Amino acid sequence: MKFIIAIILTALLSFAVGLFQFFPWWSFVVCALIVSVAIPQKPWKGFVTGFVALFILWIVLACIIDIPNEHILSKKVAQIIPLGGSYILLIIVTGIVGGLVGGLGALTGSYIRQK
């Protein structure tokens, strides 16, 4: 239960902080860390919490944009990145990048509370 709440909380806070454009893109790392401090878990679980929260958040946000765009831009970017023009891969890569940063932030937080 703690695990699920931590994920939801991290994702919501990260989304909220992203609405403020004057904060840099990586500001959510602080959210992941704070949630991880507030809801202590084992370090590996902390990492998974941060990873899953941001992975899901970024994938959902990307899809909300990509579907009405009918993949026009994602297909082009997936050739620049390069991912063979696959928008699905690009969305997954987006999720992984967000997830890794969020996971490491949360991991750091969980070590603060670890005895």
SS3 at position 105:
helix
- Whichever of 45 and 113 has its CB closer to other proteins, that residue is 113
Concatenated DSSP letters of 25-61? GGGHHHHHHHHHHHS---HHHHHHHHHHHHHHHHHHH
Phi, psi of 114 (to 5 degrees): -70, 140
Site for other proteins in 36-75 (CB under 8 A): 43, 58, 61-62, 65-66, 68-70, 72-75
- Whichever of 1 and 68 has its CB closer to other proteins, that residue is 68
Based on the shown chain and the rule CB under 8 A, indicate whether residue 34 belongs to the binding site for other proteins: no
Q: For binding to other proteins (CB under 8 A), which residues are involved?
A: 15, 18-19, 21-22, 24-26, 29, 43, 58, 61-62, 65-66, 68-70, 72-77, 79-80, 85, 93-94, 97-98, 100-101, 104-105, 107-108, 111-115
